[in-house]
Structure 1
Amino acid sequence: MAKSIAGPEIERLIQLLAKLPGLGPRSARRAALHLVKRREQLLAPLTTAMAEALEKVTICSACGNIDTSDPCTICLDTARDQATVIVVEDVSDLWALERAKALNAAYHVLGGVLSPLDGIGPDDLTIRQLVERVHRGGVNELVLAVNATVEGQTTAHYLMDQLEGLDVKVTRLAHGVPVGGELDYLDEGTLAAAMRSRAVL
């Protein structure tokens, strides 16, 4: 085992940073060194921001979004079409759709996807809460905005089964050629999905 060249506090910072998505041990060391070298400009404000987030950030009981209020800002927005609910896997997907300003609707965060290999079943997601939300009424359309992965599609099919017989229109995002994409660079699965989802002009 290699001997540590930094104090235990810095090593702890590196270990914690390495647990963040997209940061391995090497990137975590660089980030920790940068933070420590710029303690007043970066480390102190970051510490304050993280303490405030720990104290104030909560999960919306209505949709699963992360915000400082419950219900969240999106759920409280009366200008939104609350009868249309976009179903996403994670909060990051919700944020991506909000940045795109694609549809001014409500949301429901599943908290992941069904993945038997990883031990994630229906009870580990907010599927029951979604079905109950539809049962309560007021929802006319569910837009299944799950990723085009095997797990995402499995989750979408499971949701369709759970919603069968309920008075709600269920739609899915179209999959296919991205804006600015060239056919020659796309994989066969994307091309096949684009052909199946072709639209009349």
Structure 2
Amino acid sequence: MSTSERLIESTRELLWERGYVGTSPKAILERAGAGQGSMYHHFRGKPDLALAAIRRTADELCATAERVLAGPGTPFERIETYLLRERDVLRGCPIGRLTMDPDVIASDELRAPVDETITRIRQLIAKTVQEGQRQGQFAPELDGEEIGAAVLATIQGGYVLARASGSPAAFDAGVRGLLSLLTPRTSA
């Protein structure tokens, strides 16, 4: 792995663990096993490196959502698979966590990929709900954008509940509750 790749990957991990404010250039260099001038040779500084790391994480999260939500199964099954997919619940969301970082939120440049990721995933879920409506699986009065927002709120809130309790059970309970509300009803 090249030095710039090690710097990006180290920054991704540190942002997930510590947030932007808690991620120092020194910690990045130590984690990457890179020399003192390496970061400034490849990047303009911490904000530039953080942006590259955030974009890579955002791209991966969007690719995972696209793969699951456009994959096989009914629209409900795809949403269920997305909600139940493997996550490191006690670490939280590597993108959602950045919304609590004042320096990220204060920077239009750093906040943009965070907002774009959340928007893109919400749109993918909305599209899946609309497909389910056309197939008669979901009620026509459901609003796909609102369901997308509810799915994301459940996931992000589930991370908070799990981290607060120190147990993934709270995350799992939120997901099960949302799925019970979304489960297609069969006519009698």
Fold match by TM threshold 0.5: no
Name the structure, 1 or 2, with higher relative contact order (CA <8 Å, separation 6+).
Answer: 2
**TM-score between the two structures when normalised by the length of structure 1:** 0.30
Which structure is higher in strand share? 1
- The structure having more radius of gyration, on CA atoms, is 1
**Greater share of helix residues, 1 or 2?**
2
